[in-house]
Structure 1
Amino acid sequence: MSDTIQVISRALGADVQGLNAVSHNVANLATPGFQGVRMLPDFANALAQEQRVQLQDGPLKQTGRSLDLALRGDGFFQVKRGDEVLLTRAGHFVRRADGVLATLAGDEVMTDAGPLVLPEQDVRVDGAGIVWQGDQRLAQLAVAGIAEPARLQATGGGYRYDGTVGTWNGTVQQGAIEQSNVDAAEETQRLIELSRHAESVQRAISIYDRTLDTGINRIGDN
């Protein structure tokens, strides 16, 4: 394959990856706590791109429910699924049958006191993520700051992160759920731009193919 075809093919491949990222974002417009993704150049590999999670607060939906918690700032709740620790921004928590604070999927919400067994009555959660029953401190929610965003990878119902856990300087808001941070108008604009660019690349491939075919035929005429 010629260098020209390789360059054109890489450009078309990048457009396809970008369109897939836009489709993924649009599909999760209504997913609480979802963080949009972008395809960015992988500077360690000049021929590749990498999918990067875009850390940005989404709008809040006020619910007034005591176990609905939203994060502000680039932090993630830490939850435990079996022996694996995952991260999530979806703070619609529940009191599990055994009384433990958990996600809707049943994952244990991690705290500095281990599994948090909730009392029957409502609790108060302050801006630092400390859970109170009246004047009694029960635990502090484990919130991870993300020091290396490139190492954050989306997985089923959460995120995996094998990078350095930094200091989280945000706040917790009780009685609210964070919505997806995807901007529908921005995604529509990106869809239009990527589609047009992909069409241009396809035309370039067609023109190059005709030029190559003409050149080969002329050689044959000689």
Structure 2
Amino acid sequence: MDRLIYTAATGARHLLEQQATTSNNLANATTTGFRAQLDSFRAVPVVADGLPTRTFVVDNTVGSDFRQGAMQTTGRPLDVALRGDGFIAVQSADGSEAYTRNGSLKVSENGLLQTAAGLTLVGENGPIAIPPDAQVAIGSDGTVSAIDTTQTQPGPSNVLGRIKLVNPETRGLVRGDDGLFRQQSGLPADVDQGVRLVDGTLEGSNVNAIDAMVNMISLARSFETQMSLLKNAENNAAKATQILALN
């Protein structure tokens, strides 16, 4: 009885937490470069005096799904997608270096190359400044060049910098509350010359909306099962009390 109550109660609680994770994945099914979050359940015995009869159920975040999403051609010069593994380095809101696969870029009011969310891209030699009235092109190796469009005849392209592209071990990455990835060590990742970009293309989310919906239904039914187990435990306890009262 004791084991049933603890297992069912904690199972119901963490089913709700996993439901929240699945809902977040489903909400980001159309977010550029999003990586689905993975969860799993595990049993944890309660360490206390007496017999080890009580066990908790814990929802454990095991990581993220790093499989590549579908490529979507946009034709926009400031849209880039990573071909294969790798990440784009950006400066997060707290000033630290973080990593994303969202390649929807823009030029800020101050002329800095940023993501669509307003995060400044990290260049190999610092932030990349874009001059006004310039046509920007991004090479497969992350090199950013611009051509002055104010002249009658287009001049030569000028290299403005190179986007920092990295490919750290995914096992050593953690996802922050802002959706960006960072190394567990807190140190910036090294530049990887093998990472390549595709211009005029965006990578979609790798969340399968159908699988996420089916998972949500399955979690809802599992929650109902846990509630039924708790109800059975209550009924069993009531019957036991009646028997003891008769004695």
What TM-score does the superposition give when structure 1 sets the normalisation length?
0.85
Are 2:30 and 1:30 aligned? yes
Q: Greater CA deviation, 94-103 or 160-169?
A: 160-169
Aligned match of 2:174: 152
Residue 198 of structure 2 aligns to a residue whose secondary structure is: strand
Structure 1: give runs of 5+ residues left out of the alignment: none
Q: Distance in 1 between matches of 2:43 and 2:229?
A: 26
Map 1:180-191 to 2 at 5 A: 180-191=205-216
Residue 14 of structure 2 aligns to a residue whose secondary structure is: helix
Aligned match of 1:64: 75
Q: Greater CA deviation, 32-41 or 180-189?
A: 32-41
Residue 87 of structure 1 aligns to a residue whose secondary structure is: strand
Q: Distance in 2 between matches of 1:155 and 1:193?
A: 26
Are 2:141 and 1:128 aligned? yes
Root-mean-square deviation (CA, aligned residues, Å) is 2.8
Are 2:82 and 1:100 aligned? no
Aligned match of 1:174: 199
Aligned match of 2:59: 49
Aligned length: 222
Aligned match of 1:210: 235
Are 2:226 and 1:201 aligned? yes
Aligned match of 1:18: 18
Kept after mapping to 1: 8 A contact 2:14/2:57: no
Q: Deviations over 1:116-171 (max 9, x none)?
A: 12244333323332334566544321123241446412323634443474775543
Kindly provide the amino acid, as one letter, of the partner of residue 113 in structure 2. L
Kindly provide the amino acid, as one letter, of the partner of residue 58 in structure 2. A
Q: Deviations over 1:34-82 (max 9, x none)?
A: 2111213579998533332221212122111111111233422111145
Closer/same/farther in 2, CA of residues 167 and 186 from structure 1, 3 Å limit:
farther
Q: Distance in 1 between matches of 2:238 and 2:37?
A: 40
Q: Distance in 1 between matches of 2:179 and 2:58?
A: 27
Structure 2: give runs of 5+ residues left out of the alignment: 46-55, 147-155
Aligned match of 2:8: 8
Closer/same/farther in 2, CA of residues 2 and 146 from structure 1, 3 Å limit:
farther
Closer/same/farther in 2, CA of residues 173 and 42 from structure 1, 3 Å limit:
farther
What TM-score does the superposition give when structure 2 sets the normalisation length?
0.77
Q: Distance in 2 between matches of 1:126 and 1:104?
A: 19
Aligned match of 2:53: none
Kindly provide the amino acid, as one letter, of the partner of residue 215 in structure 1. A
Kindly provide the amino acid, as one letter, of the partner of residue 32 in structure 2. P
Kept after mapping to 2: 8 A contact 1:53/1:149: no
Q: Distance in 2 between matches of 1:151 and 1:10?
A: 28
Kept after mapping to 2: 8 A contact 1:18/1:38: no
Percent of pairs identical after alignment? 23
Residue 167 of structure 2 aligns to a residue whose secondary structure is: strand
